[in-house]
């Protein structure tokens, strides 16, 4: 852990970080799209979707192939700030099973350096990446349990423990002082916490769509919206 009380106080005052409580743990929600648990020195990130750009380009989509570079650069800056003991990448870290073969040598080296910079890096299995590509350090797993919390990519129906998931890429639209805003978000109830997608080319699912309302009805949910490098509750 590298953060100090002074650093945290400044970031909260600037609305770059907000502090919330979930499943009896304090969580620092960072406007850059990650969550940090000070009690165990864990950094949680979800849905990197590395090499999504090159995947889409293979279908003649006119997109630049620099999404992995941008995603890894952003993540490196966050890891430098927090210096966590453990990083949990909460599934769909790679966009498809051929992602690593399309990744540039420099990006592969960058990724390996990031993984090696922390004591433990956990790759949670996602629907896009059920198998960790060969040659990538870190520990693959289906889920991680912390006391009464289970971290997995998709929710399990009937689960009695609190869940932290990714997969849905939540976003929110809102109007403040007659201005319309749209951005990624964290959203949670007492038993389900959904991480925003971190990857450079990841889209979003509006939390007012039926599938999200089934998971998190309006009356039960909390929403922390990300916009222009600030985070605020809506």
pLDDT in tens, 4-63: 999 999 999 999 999 999 999 999 999 999 999 999 999 999 999 898 766 566 665 666
Domain boundaries, the chain: 5-233
Give residue 6's pLDDT.
Answer: 95
Q: Is the pLDDT of residue 233 over 90?
A: yes
- For 111-123, the pLDDT digits (tens) are 999 999 999 999 9
Element (H, E) at 111: helix 105-116
Element (H, E) at 141: strand 139-141
Q: How far apart are CA 120 and CA 122, in angstroms?
A: 6
Q: Give burial (CB, 10 Å; 0-12/13-18/19+) of 217.
A: exposed
- pTM of structure: 0.93
Q: How far apart are CA 152 and CA 145, in angstroms?
A: 9
To the question of domain 5-233 being in CATH 3.30.2000, the answer is no
């Amino acid at each position: 852990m590298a953060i100090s009380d002074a650093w945290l106080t400044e970031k909260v005052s600037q609305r770059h970080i907000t502090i919330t409580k979930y499943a009896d743990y304090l969580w620092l929600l960072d406007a850059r799209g990650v969550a940090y648990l000070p009690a165990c020195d864990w950094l949680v990130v979800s849905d990197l979707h590395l090499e999504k750009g090159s995947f889409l380009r293979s279908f003649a989509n006119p997109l630049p192939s620099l999404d992995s570079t941008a995603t890894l650069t952003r993540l490196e800056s966050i890891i430098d700030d927090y210096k966590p003991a453990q990083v949990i990448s909460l599934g769909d870290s790679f966009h498809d099973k051929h992602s690593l073969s399309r990744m540039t040598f420099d990006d592969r080296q960058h990724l390996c350096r990031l993984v090696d910079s922390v004591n433990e890096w956990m790759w949670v299995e996602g629907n896009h990446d059920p198998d960790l590509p060969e040659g990538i350090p870190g520990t693959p797993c289906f889920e991680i349990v912390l006391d009464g919390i289970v971290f997995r990519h998709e929710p399990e129906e009937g689960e009695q423990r609190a869940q932290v998931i990714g997969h849905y890429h939540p976003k929110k639209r809102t109007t403040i002082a007659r201005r319309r805003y749209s951005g990624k978000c964290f959203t949670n109830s007492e038993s389900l916490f959904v991480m925003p997608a971190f990857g450079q080319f990841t889209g979003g699912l509006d939390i007012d769509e039926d599938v999200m309302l089934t998971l998190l009805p309006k009356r039960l949910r909390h929403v922390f919206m990300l916009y222009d490098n600030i985070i605020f509750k809506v």
